[in-house]
Structure 1
Amino acid sequence: MTGEWFAAYARKVLAPTLSPGDVVILDNLPAHKSAEAREAVEAVGARLLFLPPYSPDFNPIENIFAKMKAWIRRVAPRTVDALQDAVCGAIDDVCHSQAAACFTATGYEPD
């Protein structure tokens, strides 16, 4: 992802869903530091907050990735096709309730 792509997302998708006082929490991906993205978010009265450089405890997706990697290790794929199948299986295995539980464990309240 580039800063230009993230800025377009922030302007067209993210900002219209925000309300004054909302906080958007981001990791430190360089694309997230786009001035245009910041302007789009701040124009609606929201603000950006960046996580510390390496903070998996605050980032729910890290818990999902850990579950997926464990699933793939159990399958132990040995070919590219088997790896692709394993990744798809891991995605299917991490169901909505598990994803919601990972968010809840970090203090988020998913819809």
Structure 2
Amino acid sequence: MIVGLLVAAGGIAFAPFLGLPLVLLVFTVASLGMGVFYLASMGVLNEIVPDYLKGTISGAYYLFWGIGMFFGPPIINQIAICAGFQTSMAGYSFLILLVAVGLITGKRCQPEIT
């Protein structure tokens, strides 16, 4: 999860400084980082919840992921219009980096063995 977030944050942070052919490659790698985070975090969530809540947690995860995918790009676009593209990408990558740091330093959830 953490590696995926770091790859995504790095790609998004460096994208504004690159030209068109390279920016597509960097965004491709950053999206792969987000995909790695998505799969790993879904796996972790399914490991720590009881069996009777696995469907609920998966549905809630998809709901909030979808909300972020629907509202995230327009919000980033509005920030880019007001503050500039480099500022919006730097802010977005900083938020992703904060999540990665939180995962690194936070308390680890251990699944109960029953």
TM tier, smaller: under 0.3
Which of structures 1 and 2 has the bigger CA Rg? 1
Length-normalised TM-score, structure 2? 0.25
Work out which structure has the larger RCO, using CA pairs closer than 8 Å and 6 or more positions apart in sequence. Answer: 2
Decide which structure has greater helix share.
2
